[in-house]
């Protein structure tokens, strides 16, 4: 019996170890969420896919003169709207034990109507189905729990690998940032024409007191430990029009959240003079890689100016 048990354990170790090694190789290179589940964040980026692809944490870290880890902890509009599930994950990702006295840290929150409102109908489930938030550990590397539980969603291992091979214009960074680069302007224009549709927001947006309250609590908690920046990233004119129709007075709501707290600011980059500076990979709301890098540098300069910090000499 002991010999059988030993052989069984050896078999499970070899099979499990082999599976884990394959998962790690694929996840480290092709899984856009794996690196978000490793390492403790000192500064952090939050929000949906606009933040995931448009707020470049290694640029923010350099431009702001930070030394501690700056992690992009943004996912997408369906999986990471502001709510209590997301807030719980944020607190576990940052961890109070990582908060060093006197350390300068920034929390950059991408805001738009979609991440403080609910989707209408049952067709669009949200974070309750996002297995990533069920992980026990969000800071371990390699994250064995992530590799074996596969919280990326419904995609199978081989599907993730094949998709990663196809998307050779996508680059994944260890700080959680994902950038999509266009090889030339013709390719960018072709993608934009392919993505063009009559209506950009394909689901009903419903006002949510719970999500607005959760965002307010997240801001309040984060402001105890650092500087909180609410930023509305650039979008296309049509996307802006639809969002403003879905949530009239959105900018006033965000400005009100920042009022009364010297450590919280709201920056709106959807005004014509600002949003026309950048290119969109999808033509609508995801910044192309080079534009995301430029935008992050511009945002850093704005943050330093508004908070009264000296720009980093290079």
pLDDT bin (cut points 50, 70, 90) of residue 214 is very high
The pLDDT score that the predictor gives to residue 240 is 92
pTM for the structure as a whole = 0.85
pLDDT bin (cut points 50, 70, 90) of residue 23 is low
Report yes or no on 98 lying in a domain.
yes
pLDDT (tens digit, 9 = 90+) per residue, 268-312?
999 888 878 898 988 888 999 999 999 999 999 999 999 988 765
Report yes or no on 161 lying in a domain.
no
- Number of domains composing the chain: 1
Residue 218, domain CATH: 3.40.50.1110
The pLDDT score that the predictor gives to residue 162 is 53
Decide the pairing of beta strands 178-180 and 170-172. Answer: antiparallel
Residue 126 burial by Cβ neighbours in a 10 Å radius (0-12, 13-18, 19+): middle
- The Cα 74–Cα 178 span in angstroms is 10
CA atoms within 13 A on the CB side of 260: 6
The domain in which residue 217 lies consists of 41-140+169-307
Mean pLDDT of the chain: 81
Report yes or no on 20 lying in a domain.
no
Report yes or no on 149 lying in a domain.
no
More confident site: 264 or 98: 264
Report yes or no on 230 lying in a domain.
yes
The pLDDT score that the predictor gives to residue 81 is 94
For the stretch 220-252, what's the b/e string if a residue is b when 16 or more beta carbons lie within 10 angstroms of its beta carbon? Answer: eebbebbbbbbbbbbbbebbbebbeebbeebbe
Report yes or no on 71 lying in a domain.
yes
Q: Is the pLDDT of residue 129 over 60?
A: yes
Residues of the chain above pLDDT 90, percent: 49
Report yes or no on 32 lying in a domain.
no
The pLDDT score that the predictor gives to residue 14 is 44
Average pLDDT over residues 136-152: 82
The pLDDT score that the predictor gives to residue 141 is 82
pLDDT bin (cut points 50, 70, 90) of residue 13 is very low
pLDDT bin (cut points 50, 70, 90) of residue 124 is low
Report yes or no on 6 lying in a domain.
no
- The Cα 217–Cα 215 span in angstroms is 5
The pLDDT score that the predictor gives to residue 158 is 52
- The Cα 310–Cα 313 span in angstroms is 9
């Amino acid at each position: 019996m002991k010999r059988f048990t030993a052989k069984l354990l050896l078999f499970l170790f070899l099979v499990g170890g082999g599976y884990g090694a394959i998962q790690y190789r694929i996840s480290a290179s092709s899984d856009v969420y794996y690196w978000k589940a490793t390492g403790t964040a000192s500064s952090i980026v939050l929000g949906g896919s606009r933040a995931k692809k448009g707020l470049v944490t290694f640029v923010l870290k350099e431009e702001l003169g930070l030394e501690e880890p700056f992690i992009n902890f943004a996912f997408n509009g369906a999986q990471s709207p502001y709510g209590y599930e997301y807030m719980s994950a944020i607190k576990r990702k940052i961890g109070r034990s990582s908060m060093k006295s006197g350390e300068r840290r920034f929390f950059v929150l991408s805001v738009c109507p979609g991440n403080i409102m609910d989707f209408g109908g049952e067709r669009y489930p949200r974070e309750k189905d996002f297995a990533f938030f069920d992980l026990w550990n969000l800071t371990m590397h390699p994250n064995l729990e992530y590799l074996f539980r596969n919280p990326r969603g419904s995609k199978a291992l081989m599907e993730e690998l094949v998709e990663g091979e196809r998307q050779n214009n996508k680059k994944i960074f260890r700080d959680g940032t994902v950038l999509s680069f266009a090889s030339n302007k013709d390719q960018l224009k072709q993608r934009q024409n392919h993505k063009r549709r009559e209506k950009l927001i394909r689901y009903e947006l419903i006002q949510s007191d719970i999500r607005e309250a959760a965002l307010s609590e997240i801001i309040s908690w984060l402001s105890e430990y650092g500087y909180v920046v609410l930023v509305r990233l650039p979008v296309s004119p049509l996307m802006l029009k639809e969002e403003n129709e879905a949530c009239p007075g959105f900018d006033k709501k965000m400005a009100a959240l920042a009022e009364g707290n010297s450590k919280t600011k709201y920056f709106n980059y959807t005004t014509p003079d600002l949003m026309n500076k950048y290119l969109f990979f999808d033509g609508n709301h995801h910044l192309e890689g080079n534009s995301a890098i430029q935008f992050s540098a511009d945002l850093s300069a704005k943050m330093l100016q508004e908070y009264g910090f000296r720009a980093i000499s290079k």
